[in-house]
Every structure is written in structure tokens, then in C-alpha cells.
């Protein structure tokens, strides 16, 4: 049996944040990140709309980028004290992911992090609250996905929690929230979205339902990301939709080893998630092409790239990504990013072993062992050709 799950309602377009006025309930907790939503007035607006709807509102502020287990447990504790029937998460992937994990421990205080971190092992939710996600970056698409990425800083491992239980009930995709993204964030989150769509199109769990969403997302990223990076508002509007489509695809098709590598090296090298995906993606395409060049060729044809054979088309796709990375000022190797060789060598065995255990490795088109991950990390560090 195959399953395809999305939020029940998705509001999209300018000004849709105001949909919060129509929420029916008693109490809402708003979970938000650092300061950007407050500074730009969106937090006040969200709070105002919820109050207009007659709800009592409490704030959990200050979720850090790449949220920790500790932040999640603090938020869940606040929720247990306040007893909200709505959780409203607003901001980038970090506060929304943190709020999803808080939701689990709010409804199930006895749950153990190690248990819920096992794929599709989250106990039933919605006995106490429902969930609204409002993204302010154009990349993670966590507003429509069954994932939440939480970092255990003791082990320096990012855990993707995965279960349709944490797919939000309502997503509000209002592009105005993304207008204030600085250039670097626009580039990194946009490449995260492109990686989601490409990995969803080649993942072992892909389907005829996820494929068209992935392809549409890829062509929209191709047509809009560089212009969005340059500050064009229409392109930014389009990227907000493109990333959401990619999310609908990958939440159901799942991902691949670009994400396994990014999850296991992000907390070690302190490189933003989307930037790591952008660096690893061309190397992984070369690694996977023995198995699924025909899928990459499909994508290349769909977006108008040149090539006569599947392998030529796959090469065109890899070069298109390399070119886009250059246009977005994203380095092509970990070394160029500034990771010291001794730091890399000190960690490479550990992150290679950890990557095998990542939930995204199981749905990759090609089986990948620790020694393969090591060779891939080395290729991405030194800029070596992948021919294994
Ligand atoms: N749940 C999923 O399906 C999924 C998918 C991919 C990635 N992730 C995770 O999401 C996290 C990354 O999320 P992200 O890339 O959205 O970044 P983020 O939420 O970590 O935010 C990065 C920075 O951008 C700022 N920011 C956010 N929106 C802004 C805006 N509109 N204007 C100005 N500044 C803004 C934040 O305050 C923060 O300082 C990672 O932990 C990653 O692993 C989750
Ligand atoms: Fe991602």
C-alpha cells in the first residue's frame, strides 16, 4: 500500500497570514525563532489575528537555528503549563521543526527522544492540539512535510524525526514573510528546495503522485532562484511555491543520501543545511548515475537541457547545478567553504558511519556503505571526480 499525506488546508499567496483570524479555538501558542519575525512585524500580526479570533495567546520565542533537544523539551514544558489547542509555528525550518517536536512531548510527556527518532514511530497526536505552520524561508517546506530535524549537540548528530503524525494540519504559505531573507539565506534555502525535488524524483519511494510535484518544483527553481537571489519579488513569490511543491513530493517520496550527508556533517562543520546540500548534490548525482541516469535524464529533458544519451543528459544536469551554485556564490567543495583539512580528517570516519544510519539512506536509489560515504565526503572536500 502506498500513502500520500499533506496538510488538510493550504492557504497560499499574498496576505494569507490573515487566515489566522478565522481559526476556531481557545488557546494558541506561537513558536518563533530569533528576531526576524518580530523585527519585521509578522509576529505582532500573527498574534493580533489570533486574538481577533478570540484566542488567548502565549509566545515561545528564541528557537535557535538547528534546534536542540533541550529547546524542544523546554517548549513542551511551556505547552503543558499553558495547555494550547493550537500550536502556531512561524519562521524558518528551525522554529517550525522545533514546534513539531514540542508537540510530540506536549501530548506524550512520557515519550523518549530515542524512540520517536525511529522512523514512523511517533505516537498519535491531535488529542490536545492541532498545528499551523507558516514558513518565512523558501526551502525546507516543513509546513507540508512529515519531518522535523532536531540536533543532539552532545553527539553532534541531526535526527530527522519522520512520521505523518507531524504533518501540519494547516500550512500558510504567504510569500511576504520571505521578502526579508538576505541573499545568502535565499541561496541556501533555494538549493535545499532543489535538492528535495531532485532526491524525491529519484528516491525509491517515489510515485506517479509525487513525480509531477517534483518536476514542477525543479523547473520553477530553475526559472526563479537566481532572480530571487537578486531580489526580484515575483521570483521570490514563485520560489515560495516551488519549495512547497518540492516538500509535498519529498514528504511522501522521501529523500536520498545528499540529505544523509548533510544531516550527519551539518552539526560537525557548522555549515547551513541548504549550503551543504548544494555542495554535495553534484557529487551524489555522479555516484547515483549508474543506477538512475534515466531519472536524471528525465529531469534534464523536462527543464530543456542538452544531451543525446541518458548519461549526457545527467552530465548536463550536474553542470547546470554547478553553474547555479556559482551564480549563487556557493562553494563547490568543503575545502573552499573553509573547513580545515585536519578538522575534516578528524571527523570523516565518524560522519561516514553515521550517514549509513540516517533515515534518508534507506530510500536512496543506490545502496551506500560507510566506505562509499567516506569516498563521497572526500570527493566533496577535495573536489575529486566521482568514478566509483
Ligand atoms: N522538516 C523538514 O522537512 C526539513 C527539511 C529540510 C531542512 N530542515 C531543517 O530546517 C533547518 C533549516 O531551516 P531554514 O533553512 O529555513 O533556516 P532557519 O530556520 O534555521 O533560519 C536561519 C536564519 O534565518 C533567519 N530567518 C528566517 N526567516 C527569515 C526572513 N524571512 N528574513 C530574515 N531572516 C530570516 C532566522 O532567524 C535564522 O537566523 C535545518 O535544521 C534543517 O535541517 C527541515
Ligand atoms: Fe533539506
Kindly report the pTM of this predicted structure.
Answer: 0.97
**Pair 126, 141 in one domain:** yes
Of 127, 159, 178, the domain-final residue: 178
Examine residue 387 and state whether it is found in any structural domain, yes or no. Answer: no
Specify whether the CB–CB gap between 322 and 191 falls below 8 A: no
Give the model confidence (pLDDT) of 140-192 as tens digits: 999 999 999 999 998 878 888 999 999 999 999 999 999 999 999 999 999 99
CATH number for position 201: 1.20.1090.10
The reply to whether 340 and 191 lie within a common domain is yes
Domain hosting 377: range is 183-382
Residue 388 resides in a domain? no
Residues 210 and 66 in one domain: no
Cα(35)–Cα(321) distance, integer angstroms: 32
> Is the same domain home to 224 and 303?
yes
- Give the pLDDT confidence score for residue 155 in this predicted structure: 85
Residues 131 and 199 in one domain: no
Distance, in Å, from the CA atom of 150 to the CA atom of 65, rounded to the nearest integer, reads 10
Q: What is the pLDDT of residue 45?
A: 98
| Residue 4 in domain | no
| Candidate from 31, 97, 174 with most ligand 1 atoms within 8 A of CB, to mutate | 97
**Angstrom distance (rounded) from CA 243 to CA 353:** 30
Task: In whole angstroms, give the CA distance from residue 233 to residue 179.
Answer: 7
Could you tell me the CATH number of the domain that includes residue 40? 3.40.50.1970
Q: Do 139 and 286 have their domain in common?
A: no
The whole-angstrom separation of Cα 264 and Cα 356 is: 9
41 occurs within a structural domain: yes
Ligand 1 pocket check for 180: Cβ under 6 Å: yes
Examine the domain organization and report whether 271 and 370 are in the same domain.
yes
Residues 196 and 265 in one domain: yes
User: 242 with 292, same domain?
Assistant: yes
Same domain, 241 and 266: yes
Q: Is the CB of 200 under 6 A from ligand 1?
A: no
121 with 199, same domain: the answer is no
Residue 157 pLDDT: 82
142 lines ligand 1 (CB under 6 A): yes
Which of 42, 93, 149 is the best mutation target for the ligand 1 pocket, counting ligand atoms within 8 Å of the beta carbon and taking the most? 93
Q: Is residue 271 part of a domain?
A: yes
Tens of pLDDT, residue by residue over 53-80, are: 999 999 999 999 999 999 999 999 999 9
Local confidence pLDDT in tens for the 388 residues of the chain = 799 999 999 999 999 999 999 999 999 999 999 889 999 999 999 999 999 999 999 999 999 999 999 999 999 999 999 999 999 999 999 999 999 999 999 999 999 999 999 989 999 999 999 999 999 999 999 999 999 999 999 887 888 899 999 999 999 999 999 999 999 999 999 999 999 999 999 999 999 999 999 999 999 999 999 999 999 999 999 999 999 999 999 999 999 999 999 999 998 999 999 999 999 999 999 999 999 999 999 999 999 999 999 999 999 999 999 999 999 999 999 999 999 999 999 999 999 999 999 989 999 999 999 999 999 999 999 999 999 9
Q: Which of the listed residues 114, 147, 178 is the one where a domain comes to its end?
A: 178
Q: Evaluate: CB of 91 within 6 angstroms of ligand 1.
A: yes
- The reply to whether 286 falls in a domain is yes
Q: How many domains does the chain have?
A: 2
Number of the ligand 1 atom closest to the C-alpha atom of 146: 3
Residue 221 lies in a domain: yes
What's the pLDDT at 41? 96
CA 83 – ligand 2 centroid, Å: 31
Measured from the CB, is residue 249 less than 6 Å from ligand 1? no
Nearest to 217 by CA among 244, 237, 183: 244
136 lines ligand 1 (CB under 6 A): yes
Is there a domain that residue 2 lies in? no
Looking at 178, 204, 228, which one is the last position of a domain? 178
Neighbours of 69 (CB within 10 A): 18
Judgement on whether residues 73 and 202 belong to the same structural domain of the protein:
no
Amino acid at each position: 500500500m502506498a500513502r500520500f499525506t499533506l496538510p488538510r488546508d493550504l492557504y497560499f499567496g499574498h496576505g494569507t497570514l490573515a487566515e489566522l483570524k478565522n481559526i476556531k479555538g481557545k488557546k494558541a501558542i506561537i513558536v518563533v525563532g530569533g528576531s526576524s519575525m518580530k523585527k519585521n512585524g509578522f509576529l505582532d500580526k500573527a498574534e493580533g489575528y489570533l486574538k481577533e479570533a478570540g484566542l488567548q495567546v502565549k509566545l515561545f520565542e528564541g528557537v535557535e537555528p538547528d534546534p536542540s533537544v533541550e529547546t524542544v523539551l523546554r517548549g513542551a514544558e511551556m505547552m503543558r503549563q499553558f495547555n494550547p489547542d493550537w500550536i502556531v509555528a512561524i519562521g524558518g525550518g528551525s522554529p517550525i521543526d522545533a514546534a513539531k517536536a514540542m508537540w510530540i512531548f506536549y501530548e506524550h510527556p512520557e515519550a523518549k527522544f530515542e524512540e520517536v527518532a525511529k522512523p514512523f514511530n511517533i505516537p498519535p497526536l491531535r488529542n490536545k492540539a492541532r498545528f499551523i505552520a507558516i514558513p518565512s524561508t523558501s526551502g525546507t517546506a516543513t509546513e507540508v512535510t512529515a519531518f522535523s530535524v532536531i540536533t543532539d549537540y552532545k553527539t553532534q548528530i541531526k535526527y530527522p524525526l519522520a512520521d505523518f503524525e507531524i504533518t501540519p494540519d494547516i500550512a500558510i504559505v504567504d510569500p511576504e514573510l520571505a521578502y526579508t531573507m538576505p541573499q545568502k539565506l535565499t541561496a541556501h534555502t533555494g538549493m535545499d528546495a532543489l535538492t528535495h525535488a531532485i532526491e524525491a524524483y529519484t528516491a525509491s519511494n517515489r510515485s506517479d503522485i509525487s513525480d509531477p510535484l517534483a518536476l514542477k518544483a525543479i523547473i520553477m527553481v530553475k526559472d526563479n532562484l537566481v532572480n530571487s537571489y537578486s531580489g526580484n519579488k515575483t521570483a521570490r513569490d514563485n520560489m515560495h511555491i516551488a519549495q512547497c511543491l518540492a516538500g509535498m513530493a519529498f514528504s511522501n517520496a522521501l529523500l536520498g543520501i545528499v540529505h544523509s550527508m548533510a544531516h550527519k556533517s551539518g552539526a560537525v562543520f557548522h555549515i547551513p543545511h541548504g549550503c551543504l546540500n548544494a555542495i554535495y548534490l553534484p557529487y551524489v548525482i555522479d555516484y547515483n548515475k549508474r543506477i538512475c541516469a534515466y531519472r536524471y535524464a528525465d529531469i534534464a529533458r523536462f527543464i530543456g537541457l542538452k544531451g543525446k544519451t541518458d548519461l549526457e543528459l545527467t552530465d548536463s544536469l550536474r553542470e547546470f547545478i554547478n553553474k547555479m551554485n556559482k551564480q549563487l556564490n556557493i562553494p563547490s567543495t568543503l575545502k573552499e567553504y573553509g573547513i580545515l583539512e585536519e578538522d575534516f580528517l578528524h571527523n570523516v570516519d565518524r560522519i561516514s558511519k553515521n550517514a549509513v544510519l540516517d533515515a534518508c539512506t534507506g530510500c536512496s536509489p543506490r545502496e551506500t556503505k560507510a566506505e562509499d560515504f567516506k569516498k563521497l565526503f572526500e570527493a566533496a572536500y577535495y573536489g575529486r571526480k566521482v568514478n566509483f
